[in-house]
Amino acid sequence: MPLLPFPAQHGGRRAGAGRKPKGDVAGVRHTARAPLANRFPVLVTMKLRQRLPALRRREAYAALRDTFVAGKERFGFRLVHYAVLNDHLHFVAEAADRTALQRGLKGLAVRVARRLNTLWGRRGSVFADRYHDRVLASPREVRNALVYVLGNGRKHAAAGRMVAVPQAIDTYTSAPWFDGFREHITVRGLDGIERPLADARTWLLRVGWRRHGLIGVNETAASA
């Protein structure tokens, strides 16, 4: 967000004064979040602290999937889609209200941190800062968010960011369970994996976004 010029002042406390946060503490601004009605899905991003192992590895992804199964529907929160990147997670979620979203994400983050710390043999925080979210209030916004999440790995791969997506779809996302692709996709082995997703309940995420067309497996978006 661009900063507006501020008149020069001397003395006293000033907005924006002081040393700017860097590294793990630099992240989402601690401003009031937008209100959330239960009819709107939400796009959420959670970043890991620096210098942690990559998430797009078989053992880490298996641990993450287990936490998604356990935390996919709690406190009025529903995890409907996700993408796992090396150092961050994207979620498309639904919630009864802002409090339900916060409680559900907090519970999920605690589960993720515990499992990953156990896997990595470490202690301490896993996530760098509070999560970022964007309320999705129209069919077009929801479709764009789905394209962004399901195709984010392909976007990172094209940019040379240490991500590979050798399959038709990114299997480090919820794409194997997604029924909105234009192409017919069959993923082997899903019968032996518990579905790590909750069913969408909002009209926007169930039906509304489809008004703008199904999603191609190679479709990517510049942003959400």
3-state SS of the chain: helix, strand, coil percent to 5? 35, 15, 50
Tokens standing for 28?
């989402």
Report which residue type is found at 218.
N
**Token pair of 96, please?**
């009864």
pTM: 0.81
Residue 8 vs residues 11, 15, 17, 195: alpha-carbon distances, Å? 10, 12, 12, 57
* 218 contacts 37 by C-beta, under 8 angstroms: no
Q: Per-residue pLDDT tens for 76-125?
A: 999 999 999 999 999 999 999 999 999 999 999 999 999 999 999 999 99
Q: Which DSSP letter does residue 70 get?
A: H
Q: Which residues contact 202 (CB under 8 A, 6 or more apart)?
A: 38, 39, 40, 41, 94, 208
92 in Cβ contact with 41 (< 8 Å): yes
Q: Which fold is adopted by the domain 33-212?
A: Alpha-Beta Plaits (3.30.70)
Residue 186: what are its φ and ψ, rounded to 5°? -120, 125
Q: Are strands 42-47 and 88-95 parallel, antiparallel or unpaired?
A: antiparallel
Residue 47's φ and ψ, nearest 5 degrees, are: -100, 145
Which residue blocks in 72-181 are alpha helix, DSSP H?
A: 98-120, 139-158
Share of the chain above pLDDT 90, in %: 64
- In angstroms and rounded to an integer, the radius of gyration of the C-alpha atoms of the chain is 19
Q: Convert 21-38 to b/e letters by CB count within 10 Å (16 or more is b).
A: eeeeeebeeeeebeebee
Residues 15-39: pLDDT tens digits?
A: 444 454 455 444 545 455 667 889 9
Predicted confidence (pLDDT) per residue in 136-175, tens digit? 999 999 999 999 999 987 766 555 555 666 677 899 999 9
Q: What sign has the CA pseudo-torsion 32, 34, 37, 39?
A: negative
Compute the distance between CA of residue 146 and CA of residue 142 in angstroms, rounded to an integer: 6
Give the span between the Cα atoms of 139 and 209, in whole angstroms.
4
Which helix (H) or strand (E) element contains residue 89? strand 88-95
How far, in Å, CA of 169 to CA of 108, rounded? 25
pLDDT digits (tens, 9 = 90+) for 64-80: 999 999 999 998 999 99
